[in-house]
Structure 1
Amino acid sequence: MAKKQSDIAVIDLFCGIGGLSHGFVIEGFNVVAGYDNVLNCKYAYEKNNKAKFHHKDVTLLKGSELNSLFGENIKILIGCAPCQPFSSYSFKIKQKDEHKVNLLYEFSRLIKECSPDIVSMENVPQLLNFNKSSIFNDFINVLKSLDYHIDYKIVYCPDYGIPQTRKRLVLLASKLGKISLLTPTHTPENYVTVRDAIGHLNPVKAGEYDKADPLHRARLLNALNLKRLRYTKEGGGWKDWPKELLPECFKKDSGKTYGSVYGRMRWDKPSPTMTTHCTGLGNGRFGHPQQDRAITLREAALLQTFPENYQFFESMETYNTSIICKQIGNAVPPMLGQIVAQSIKEHLKKYKSWQKK
């Protein structure tokens, strides 16, 4: 008898506030739980995904606990182990956080212990080159030893309708048969742009917020940075400034390495990758294309493809801009989660293990 979607259970490791889970929720999957060791993610995860948040270090988690939650359903285990140790920035740092580096091994340990039918892992592309690929190859070899069919690729997010130039490594593995990610849905001619994502929002000034939307809040700029930004063209940066406004370090040859800091986005292009500091003007090309400020938390969330009704905080008493910015920057874009979920749907249809109600 073919399985129905209600007979499928999804568990999200390193779930954060639920970007990856939410993509599965949108596609109608039964997400039963998310695990993360950051407690401040609990409210947003549970409120928006109607799934239980387990505040637990994954190194202490056992496959038997996961299986008790999976029950007799088709088991789908998804997750994005913290990617900071493998990011391009972290390649400059010799001293790694070994706990975070080893979390991908914990992911593979749990796969061995609970034997999910389908696995999805998402991370930064640099994981392929980290430590001569040994960590990623070890992960692949575990899956092969357990007879999974495996497919992985580096995804350029605009190719799937996500309005930021984020690149991610996406892996799918299945015990049921061959599996692959859906083909791209967009081309450069119809990429979703910054204007498409945030152009409808009310204008706000630096240091202010939209009274109808507390998340639409921009950081305060000092007088000097505000003056600099007024010289900055759409898509431009500090090279637009007159010399008297340049910091001394920018005048040196080494200043070339500062790249796009203090830059403005372009209206009709996808945004740069959202980071955990994406609402700070000096942290990248995070200036609004037109207004004299950095992007707001709401704009960052929309560029990450979180729905406008996604709730990030319980009340103004629990509102914390730096925490919310970090949560948004660390999240998997929900639309990328949808693409993964849709790929798994098509896979299950093909192998007659799932049928639409």
Structure 2
Amino acid sequence: MSNRGTKKKKTGSLYSSISAVDLFCGAGGLTCGLEKAGISVNLGIDIDPACIYPYSTNNDAEFLLKSVDDVKASDLSSAFKNADLKLLAGCAPCQTFSLYNQKADSSDGRWWLLMQFSRLIRETAPELVTMENVPGLMEQDVFKKFVDDLEKQKYHVNFQIVNCAEYGLPQQRIRLVLLASKLGTIKLLNTKEFKRKPKTVKEAIGKLPSIEAGTIDTKDPLHQSASLSEINYKRILASKPGGTWRDWPKKLVASCHSKKSGKTYPSVYGRMSWDEPAPTITTQFFGFGNGRFGHPEQNRAISLREGAVLQSFPKKYKFTAPGEPISKKTLGRLIGNAVPVKLGEVIGKSILKHVTEYDASV
């Protein structure tokens, strides 16, 4: 296990070193963002084997393939060893709390993973905690219990809804962010404190090489786009940046959208706009018909690489080993489910500012 977290670093904190563990770490978006901010992440934990390569290759942290249900405090002890301050971070799977999920309820096992997070907080007693999820979680009793448990353990708790685009993410992504600290009052940096301007799709992906639907960039296997059926090719030709299927000739409109029940879903089969942030990147972003995921200019859906960049992963972030087959479905899930790196950086810098202020007061 790395001991980087035991060294005092000249980052946002003047005195205290922070060692972090990232639960539900996925491909490493939160870890990468915390590292960019200056926080040492020593361990990432996830149940998905597809996360092993991207997490371990791109981040200076160990990876533990294990269900959080089965994780014990002893699994985290070496990652927290000799740290001045411990940070337990994570984003429990959010699909069950999403507005798009009309069927999930407390019978879904993922519903209770937040309570496993709470259990590990009690067992490891970190000074700092952060959690990111969809806004719908706030309305659930499981979240209220999570907050109550933190407050009973004498944490100062702050949570709020943020639009990541306001912090420089080239994507409209609304998220719930919770910060908790035993040191004192803590809050997320506001947009002026973070000092990042809004970023457009063009600024993010405008310089990536041009490719056609169904092709792969020879220099970057992740820069590949799904093929289009004949009808969808005609549809994307008729699509305007920022528009909807309502702009098409009637002969191209899908039968489901001609029905009364389908007329309320205008955000599918659309192109992004160059001069605006992207819509929320979902796990299905690589499919033209799954949202407004058409390229603003080229006649195709955005590529896997473009989706990753819009999630603020570095352009060289590696998701698959050289020569390994690329599954759009698998990588779409990893990229779409990730905590945006930019949001992880905001969280990290907020924590460092909090710790610096605490250090100065003692």
TM-score computed with the length of structure 1 as normaliser = 0.93
The answer as to whether partners of 1:160 and 1:186 remain within 8 angstroms in 2 is no
The Cα shift of 1:95 comes to: 5.4
The answer as to whether partners of 2:20 and 2:79 remain within 8 angstroms in 1 is no
Specify the alignment match of 1:41 in structure 2. Answer: 51
SS at match of 1:109: helix
> Are 1:106 and 2:113 an aligned pair?
no
Specify the alignment match of 2:8 in structure 1. Answer: 4
Distance (whole Å) between structure 1 residues aligned to residue 97 and residue 287 of structure 2: 23
Distance (whole Å) between structure 1 residues aligned to residue 122 and residue 245 of structure 2: 51
The answer as to whether partners of 1:192 and 1:270 remain within 8 angstroms in 2 is yes
The Cα shift of 1:54 comes to: 0.3
The answer as to whether partners of 2:20 and 2:89 remain within 8 angstroms in 1 is yes
> Are 1:83 and 2:94 an aligned pair?
yes
Distance 1:186 1:149, change over 3 A: closer
Specify the alignment match of 1:31 in structure 2. Answer: 41
Distance (whole Å) between structure 2 residues aligned to residue 268 and residue 212 of structure 1: 27
Greater mean deviation of Cα atoms: 64-73 or 158-167: 64-73
Report matched runs for 1:1-357 at 5 Å.
4-5=8-9, 7-73=17-83, 74-90=85-101, 92-93=102-103, 98-130=108-140, 134-185=141-192, 190-352=197-359
Distance (whole Å) between structure 1 residues aligned to residue 55 and residue 360 of structure 2: 28
The Cα shift of 1:274 comes to: 0.5
State the identity as a percent.
48
SS at match of 2:359: coil
The one-letter amino acid of 1:44's match is P
Distance (whole Å) between structure 2 residues aligned to residue 199 and residue 54 of structure 1: 36
The answer as to whether partners of 1:159 and 1:186 remain within 8 angstroms in 2 is no
The Cα shift of 1:249 comes to: 1.8
Specify the alignment match of 2:12 in structure 1. Answer: none
* CA deviation profile, 1:313-355 (whole Å, cap 9, x unmatched): 112224222211111001000110000000011011001189x
Distance (whole Å) between structure 2 residues aligned to residue 190 and residue 286 of structure 1: 23
User: What is the root-mean-square deviation in Å for CA atoms of aligned residues?
Assistant: 2.0
The Cα shift of 1:186 comes to: 9.4
Distance 1:185 1:204, change over 3 A: farther
The answer as to whether partners of 2:69 and 2:116 remain within 8 angstroms in 1 is yes
Distance (whole Å) between structure 2 residues aligned to residue 84 and residue 190 of structure 1: 29
Unaligned runs of 5+ in 1: none
The answer as to whether partners of 2:286 and 2:328 remain within 8 angstroms in 1 is no
Specify the alignment match of 2:3 in structure 1. Answer: none
Distance (whole Å) between structure 1 residues aligned to residue 218 and residue 308 of structure 2: 17
Unaligned runs of 5+ in 2: 1-6, 10-15
TM-score computed with the length of structure 2 as normaliser = 0.92
Distance (whole Å) between structure 2 residues aligned to residue 141 and residue 116 of structure 1: 16
Distance (whole Å) between structure 2 residues aligned to residue 221 and residue 239 of structure 1: 20
SS at match of 2:191: coil
SS at match of 2:92: coil
The one-letter amino acid of 1:339's match is V
- The number of residues matched between the two structures is 348
The one-letter amino acid of 2:17's match is D
The answer as to whether partners of 1:165 and 1:273 remain within 8 angstroms in 2 is yes
Specify the alignment match of 2:4 in structure 1. Answer: none
Distance (whole Å) between structure 2 residues aligned to residue 186 and residue 297 of structure 1: 32
The answer as to whether partners of 1:158 and 1:186 remain within 8 angstroms in 2 is no
The answer as to whether partners of 2:105 and 2:111 remain within 8 angstroms in 1 is no
The Cα shift of 1:255 comes to: 1.9
